[in-house]
Every structure is written in structure tokens, then in C-alpha cells.
Structure 1
């Protein structure tokens, strides 16, 4: 039943040799890997206006030069990540660049930042998408958190069905969103050029404004840089592209950069020209759509596609998080479960982990996008900065042809990224201080996992010079815990006697009457196996049994004898039947598995009814 339900949800399993069919074309890759970056134009320009609103509407003209600064940084990042794609075609992005050029500690900082960032990608995107839905339908506003959690669950399920299937679903909303914004920007510019746009809604360029300081400008600039989140995702997911993967990834990155620059510049300019003021109940994009289209079909088309892409932009996180987790797990910094492909050839454990973490974050922050965006932006600019620095070190060390030009690109990008990080920590410390806790905590966990794998490797390593035939032969003492005279015990005793002639059955009784009854039945049964009965004063089976096994271990150590405990265990035909039976056998087994110098064997007996 569970297996059939799973098939319905995620589809039939794919063979390993079908992996090539899960590679992405450029059209699908642009949709699934650029949706986060492209969707950020729905809230990036708004973040600039929110900061400037603290001074007043007259300061809104500053959004134009601030937008130019954001576009300059975008150009530097696009050029830099194109170089990273060709230098590290195996993927891994900032983690690989920082690890190989700056050292493993910096790589882990980049990796931990990106993991947190991808969780925030899902949380922010879905929260922003929910805001777009409730802006169009205000009656739904009280249910923001429930809607957001449901959407994350839906995306998780969609990604478990496979990469190409999720990309096929995503492609339409992404391209429809781009189309709707292009229509809005085109109509807005037409209204501006023909004089149909309001002439007095905006403050004149260059208007002096009291209270505007360099601190405020830098704060607005750093907030606007939230529109650049997601730029690195393509460099992390190069293995998902069709061959030649690096060339296709670089082309998709450049195309994404061009579209992102056009949409961002158009929205910032039109928001200034139409005098849009940030509101708690309606997004800037919604207000702009109302001013240009009116509340007609085109407006609802814009809001619908915006909501869709903001929700589905989370898929960038679902695409990149599992691959980054795989890279970290491969280097023994995350559990190896993240290296396992699921039925649909995706890294299912990474997908599920990301979905659960994002839902938790949405609930904790109550779905408030404004609370998450600063944390989100810092999480992405740390790996931005480290990847730029790592590439600088790489060019200086290797000095390939044309390295000076490449160095200047990364140097300019690094300086701007470090400046933005400094601005964030100075101007929004109250909102981003958590990164100073979460990222070091991630790095600490990475190191502890690595130490565990190293320790396990040392203990499991085999000396190939020592042949198995050279090992000492040991006698075997077999202990069989029994709860009564049953078919399960009969089968277990047959198996135990095949291991050794030295077999002891152990019965723990809670009363002298129960022990007498067991001894009588055992003698009548004539198994040829000695029965040891133990009286439990506190009705506990585990206590007396563990004491008896410890005593046998001490005696066995004196005679170079191995102790084996053979556990009888019947298996119910239906899963829910197991809840109807005593679970003491599982408790005993869990305890025995932790005992040193004891081998534990389970002899299952499948019930037919």
C-alpha cells in the first residue's frame, strides 16, 4: 500500500542508465535555475524604496543611481561566474572555488552559507509569492503561513518526481512572468513617451533632500542587491546541463544576466516615474501594474505570473541545495545519505531536508518576507565574496593567458561584495546577526561529521597483509533469550545449535510460579538445550538478562570464547499488527547492539495471518 502510494506521488523508478534523460536543455535550465534571480525583481526594487521611504518621497529619485550601482555589480558577478563555470566544470560553485584556493575552512564557510541561503531562497520566494497572491485577493491575507507551507510541500513533491519533470512545469510560469513584465515595461515606457503617464507624481532628479546621507544610500544599495540572489545557482548546477555542459551553462548565465538587468532597470525607472510608494498591504509591482494597466485582465495576468514565479523560484534552491549537499557529503562533511539518488534519480534526501527546513523557517518568521530578505542577502554575499577572492588567488597562482583581465574582473567584484557585506552588518545588524551564529554552527557540525567519518575509517580499515585464515579460531557460546515455548523459539534453537554445541536458553520470569511453569514445559519439550531461569523482582526482562550476559562475557573471556546472542523475533503480516504486540524484543535488541564483545543475530519468523 505504501509503495503504491509512493508510485502515485513521485512516479515509477528510473534506471541508472536513464540519467542522461534528466539533463537540462538551455531553455529548461533557464527556467529552473534562473527563476530565483529573475523573480527577485519582484521585491529587489521595493527594498530600495522601503529604505528611502524613511526620509520621504522626495528621496525616491535616488533609486535611479542606486539601481545603476546594482547593475554594475550584476555585470561583475556574471563575468566572474562565467569564469568559474569554465574553471570548475564539475560544479560546486563558491564551495569548490573557496576550498581549492583559500583552504577547506573558507570552503566550509562558503558551503554553510550557501546551504542556509538555499533554505532562505525557498522561504523568501514562497513568502513573497504568497504576498503577491494576497495582494490580489486581500481576504486571504490572514492565511499567509498556511498557504506558504502548502506551497513548499507541493514544490518538494514536484522535485521528488525528477529534474526534467519539474523543469517542464516551471518553464511556462517563468517565461510568462518575463513576458508579463516586458509587456508592463513596454506599455509603461510608451505611456511615459506619449505623455499619458502622470507628470507630477515623481520628485525631480537632483532634488536636494534633508536627511539623505551616504549611510542611507549605502543601506538602500545593499537592500537593492537582494535582486542579485540566485546568480550563483547556475555555477553550482553545471552537471545538470546537457553536453557541452560548461558552454551551455555559461550561455544560460549570460542570458539570465541580460534579462535580469532589463527587468530590474525597467521596474526601478517606472516605479520612480509613476511615484510608487511602498505599502504594507500591496507590493510595488502590484501598484505599478495598477497604474499602467488598471485592474483589468493584464493586471491579473501580471499578478498571477508574479505569484507563480515567486513561489516556483524556490525551485532554484531545490535544484542547487541537493547538489551542494552531495559535494559536501562526498568530502565527508555531510551525511553520506545526501549522496544517494532516489527512485527518480534526484538526490531525494537533500530535497526533503530542504523542504522541511524551509517550512520550519516560514513558521518561525510567520511568513514575513521583510524579516527574511536581509538574512537571505547576507547568506548569498558571503559565498559571492569568497568565490571572488578564491578566483583572484587562482589567477595570481596559475597566471594563465589573459589572467590580468580576469583578475581585474574578480577584484572589482570582490571589493563590491565585501563593501555590501560591511554595509549589511553595519546598517542591519539587528536583522542579520543570526548569520554569525548559524554559519559557524554549520562549520562546526561539518568538522564533527568529518572527524566521525575519519574515526570510523580508521577503525574499519583492514590490514590486507593479514589473511583471514591467519586469524585465531574461537569457540562460540550462544545465548537464546526465550519468552515461552513457541514455534519462534523452536526455529531459533535449531539455528543456534547449528552455530555451536554450547547453547544456553535464558528465561526471565516475574514470579516463582511463572518460572516453575516454564521449567516444567522446557523439561517436557526435551530440546537438548540447557535452560537458565532468572527471577526479576521489578518485572524487567532487560535488567536480569543484561547481568547474565555480562557474567557470561567474563567467563568467555577467560576461555577465549565468543558470545553470540540469538534473538527470536516474529514478524507480523500487516504493519499495524506490530502495535498489538509487546515491544520488549526490540528494546532488548537495541540494548544488545550497544554491548561490546557481543554478536547479535536475529532469527525472524514471518506470521502468515
Structure 2
């Protein structure tokens, strides 16, 4: 049943030779890797306005110069990451750059920051998509968490089906979103030119007494949330068709161009229309209503915005599993993240990402505003480390034209470092948690690496001196009675060794007498040892007996515990039986120098 459901939801398994077919062209890659960045226009301007409103309606004109500053930063990042793509065509972005140029700790900080950022991306995108739905249908406000969780579930299933399939699904709504936003912008500009919005806008350039530098920096840092997702292309270069680096660079430039036009357009319309951010209606919703009224076009824009905000999480679903694979390959994450699933995607990374993002949605109750500051600072830390790493690379290698490349990355590093510091100083009360969580993540990475190193040291053999050491085998069978399950186990035990003993733990004299009588009548050719338990415990007497045998046979014999176990025909029938065999197995597996095996007997009815 479970297998059929899995096939229905995820599809048939794909051959390993089909991996090349899962690579992305530029148009599909733009859909799957740019959805996060492009969707941020739905809330980037809104985050700026939310901060400026603290100084009053008259301060909203500052959103225009702040938006232009954000665009300047976008240009710097696009040019910088384009250089990273050609320098590191194997992908990995900030993690690989920092690892190659800055050392262990910076690389783990960059990798940990990006992983946290991708988790937050899914949580923010699903929450923001819920906001767009609620703007059109306010009655759904109380169900925001449930809606967000259903979105995450849908994205998980879609990504488990494979990269190409999810890209095909994503392409249509993403391009429809881009077209609809540009239609909204052009319609709004025409409306402004015709004089339909002049009276609503606050006076541009008018000084506002209670606007401080701190407030402007805080608004600027909030607007920089529109730049999250820019690094995803450089992380996922291996997902591109050949020539991968050229296709990735072209996709990055296309994404930057589209994002720049959409972001400045929404910011201008918000200013011209005098939009005030509201709790139950997004800025894009208000602009669409002011331009088209609550007609078909309005609901289409709201619907497609909700869809793109949901699908924006797909950037994380593409980049997180790949980055987790690279960290796992370097032994900083569990090896399970290196395993490809039935559809050739890194399924464990996808599922892990979904679970953690769902937990965040529940904790923050789907409140996008509370998540975005964490989301943004999580990506600007690796932005900065990536730029610094590229600077060191150019200084060390000095390739042709390295001075220009160094200058570009230096400007990028100083800019992103400034943004990071602005975030820290202006939003510390909202982001302090990241400075506790990140060191914990890095510590976990180091502990995982140490475990793998220790494991390798203990498992490694000397091919010239370490040889198998054959010994005898003492087989111990814990029995609960004389049954076909025990018969099956004794029959198997005799193929392993001539030294086989059965052990029965009795709680009272009557049970001991009965087992002794039946065993003697049966006479399987195996000695039965009776252990009495005063406190009705099976494990205590059994453990002491095994210790005694182990001490006597340590040098001459292996000790093997064969546990008889019957397997019911239906899963629910297991609930009707004592599970002592599982408990014995779980306990004995932790003992050194003892082999534990289960001998199953399958029931037919």
C-alpha cells in the first residue's frame, strides 16, 4: 500500500543513466532558481514602507532613494557572483569559495548560514504566499498556518518527483507572474501620467523632522530582503546543461535584469499611489486594486502572486540538497544527504528541509515579518564571505585582468559587510538568535566530521598484517517456550555451531517445571539452561549469563545470540503480542564482542 502511494505521488524510479536528462536549460533554470529572488518584489518594497511608516506618511518618499540603493547593491552582487560562477564551475557558492580561500571556520559559517537561509526561504515563501491569499480572502486569516503547511507539503511532493519535472511545473506560473507584474507596472505608470495618482503621493524631497539615519538604514536593510536568492544560481551550477558555467552566468544576468525592473516599478507605484502597509492586505494587493479595481485582473495578479510566493521556496529545494550533498561529501553532514532518491534528486535533503521549515512556520505562526530579518541576515553573511574569498583568490592567483576582478569583489565585500553590520545594529532584537544558532550549527558540523574521522580510523585495516582470525562459535538462544519459532531457530543454530545452548528465564516454579518437562520430551539435542528471575526481569538474568559465557569463551569462541521471532501476516497483529524480542535485540546490540541476529518465522494466517 505504502509503495503504491509513493509511486502515485512521486512517480516511477529513474535509472542513474538518466541523470543528464535532469539538467536544466536557461529558461527552466530561471524558473527554478530565480523564483526566490523574483518573488521578493512582492514584499521587498513593503518591508521598506513598514519601517518608514514609523516616521509618518510624509516619510514614504524615502522609499524611492532607498530602492535605488538596493538596486545598486543588486548590480554589485550580480557582477560579483558572475565572476564566482566562472571561477568555481563546480558550484557550492559561498561554501566552496570560503573553503578554498578562507579556511575551515569561515567555510562552515558560510555553509551553515546558507542552509539556515534556505530553511527560512521555505518558511518565508509559504507564509508570504499565505498573506497574498488572505489579502484576497480575509476570512481565511485564522487558517494561515494550515495553509502554509499545505503549501510546504505540495512543494515537497513536487520536488521529490525530480528537478526537470518541478522546473516544468514552475516555468508557467513564474513567467506569468513576471508578465503580470510588468503589466501592472506599465498600467500604473500610464495611470500616473494621466494624472490618476498625483494627489495620493506624499511630497517628494520634503524633509521629515523625525526621520533619523538609524531609521533610513533600518529601512534599507529591510529592503535588502529583496536580494535573497541571488546566490542560488552559483550554488547550483551542476544542475545546468553544458556549458554549465555559461548557462548559469546568463541565467544570473536575466534574473538580475527582471528583478531590477520589477522592484523599482513596484516601489514607484507604491509611492505614487501613497500606499500604506496594512496587516491584512499586501502592498501589491493595494496597488493592483488602485490600478484595476477588484476585478478579474486584480484577482489574477493576487492569485499568481500567491502562487509565485509559494513556488519561491523551490529555489531552496534546488540549492539546499545540493549544498547539503557537498557538506556531506566533506563529512560535515550525515552521509544520508549524499544519497539520490528514486527520481535522482537528493530526497533526504528535500525532506529534511521541509520538516524544519514547517517547524518554523508553526513556531512563528506564519508571520512573514518576524521571519524576514532572520532570512536576510542569513544570506548576507555568506555574501560577505564569498566576496572576501574571491578577493583573496585574485590576489593569490593574479590571472589576466585580476585588478578589475579584485576591485569588483572588494566593492561587493565592503557593501555586503556594511549591510550585514546595518542588520546587526538596526535589527539586533530580531536577529540575535542567529548568533547563537550559527555557532551551534558549526559545532555540530565539526562533531560530525570528527565522528567520521574516528570511525574511519577504527575501521581501517593493515592489508599486510591484519588477517581473519577463525575461532569457534558459542550460540545462545533465548527461548520463551517450545514452539515452531524455537524449532526454526534451533535448526538454523545447528548449522552454525555444535556448541548451542537454549536459555529460559522463569519467573515462578510452575513455569520452570513446565518448560523443563516439555523440553525433555521434545529433546532437540540442545541443552536448556534455566535462569530464575526474582524481579520478573528477562534482561537482568540474561545479561549476567552472557557475561559469564563471554568471560569464559573470550579467547576461544565467538558469542552469537540468536533471537527467535515470529512475523505476523498483518502489521496490526504485532500489537497483540509481547515485543520482548525487539527489546532483547536493542539491548544486546550495544554490547561489544557479541553477535546478535534475529531468526524470523513468518505466520501464514
Alignment of 1:397-408 (within 5 A): 397-408=396-407
What's the counterpart of residue 101 of structure 1? 101
1:563 corresponds to which of 559, 567, 573:
559
| Residue equivalent to 2:471 | 474
CA RMSD of superposed structures (Å): 1.1
Residue aligned with 1:200, SS: helix
Q: How far does residue 467 in structure 1 lie from its aligned partner after superposition?
A: 5.5
The correspondence of residues 484-523 of structure 1 with structure 2, limited to 5 A, is 484-523=481-520
Supply the distance in 1 between the matched residues of 2:562 and 2:60 (Cα, whole angstroms).
78
Shift in Å at residue 499 of structure 1? Answer: 1.8
Q: Quote the residue 1:578 is aligned against.
A: 574
CA distance in 1, matches of 2:469, 2:303: 73
Instruction: Deviation per CA, 1:495-528: give whole Å up to 9, x if none.
Output: 2122222111101111111111111111111211
2:437 aligned with 1:438, yes or no?
yes
Matched, 1:166 2:182: no
What residue in structure 2 maps to residue 361 of structure 1?
A: 360
Q: Which of residues 573, 578, 596 is equivalent to 1:600?
A: 596
The equivalences for 1:45-194 within 5 A come to 45-194=45-194
* Residues in 1 aligned to 2:150 and 2:591: alpha-carbon distance in whole angstroms: 45
Shift of 1:268: 0.8
CA offset digits 1:409-463 (Å, max 9, x no partner): 1111111111111111111111000100111110011011111111111111111
* Superposition map of 1:324-363 within 5 A: 324-363=323-362
In 1, Cα distance between equivalents of 2:244 and 2:603: 53
Q: Deviations over 1:56-115 (max 9, x none)?
A: 121111111111111111001001111111111111111111111100111110111111
**Cross-structure match for 2:536:** 539
2:252 corresponds in structure 1 to 253
Are 2:452 and 1:456 equivalent residues in the alignment?
A: no
Q: Distance in 1 between matches of 2:141 and 2:396?
A: 55
1:554 paired to 2:551: yes
Distance 2:187 2:247 in 1: 33
Q: What SS does the aligned partner of 1:479 have?
A: strand
User: Separation in 2 of the partners of 1:113 and 1:230?
Assistant: 13
Distance in 2 between the 1:61 and 1:467 partners? 77
Within a 5 Å distance, the mapping from 1:342-421 to structure 2 comes to: 342-421=341-420
Distance 1:315 1:327 in 2: 19
586-595 vs 573-582, which deviates more? Answer: 573-582
**TM-score under structure 2 length normalisation:** 0.98
State the distance in 2 between where 1:281 and 1:489 align: 67
Alpha-carbon distance in structure 1 between the residues aligned to 2:460 and 2:565: 32
How do 1:220-235 residues align onto structure 2 when only pairs under 5 Å count?
220-235=219-234
* Separation of aligned partners in 1, 2:197 and 2:74: 31
Describe the SS at the equivalent of 2:71: helix
1:526 corresponds to which of 523, 527, 531: 523
Who is 1:426 aligned against? 425
Instruction: Look up the match of 2:218.
Output: 219
- Distance in 1 between the 2:21 and 2:160 partners? 16
Q: Secondary structure at the residue paired with 1:446?
A: helix
1:127 deviation in Å? 0.5
Cα displacement (A) at 1:232: 0.5
The offset of 1:574, in angstroms, is: 2.2
Cα distance in 2 for residues equivalent to 1:357 and 1:467: 45
| Structure 1 position 278 matched with structure 2 position 277 | yes
- For each residue in 1:294-340, what CA deviation from the matched residue of structure 2 results, as whole angstroms up to 9, or x when unmatched? 11111111111111100110111111111111111111011111111
Give the aligned partner of residue 242 of structure 1: 241
Q: 1:211 deviation in Å?
A: 1.3
Taking structure 1 as the reference length, the TM-score comes to 0.98
CA separation in 2, counterparts of 1:591 and 1:144? 45
Q: Any stretches of 5+ residues in structure 1 without a counterpart?
A: none
Q: Deviations over 1:101-142 (max 9, x none)?
A: 100111110111111100100011110110010001111111
**Does the residue aligned with 1:358 lie in a helix, a strand or coil?**
helix
Aligned to 2:281, what secondary structure does the other structure show? Answer: coil
The count of corresponding residues between Structure 1 and Structure 2 is 605
Q: Which residue of 1 aligns with 2:34?
A: 34
Shift of 1:560: 2.5
1:64 partner SS: helix
- How far apart, in 2, do the equivalents of 1:129 and 1:466 lie? 63
**2:473 match: secondary structure:** strand
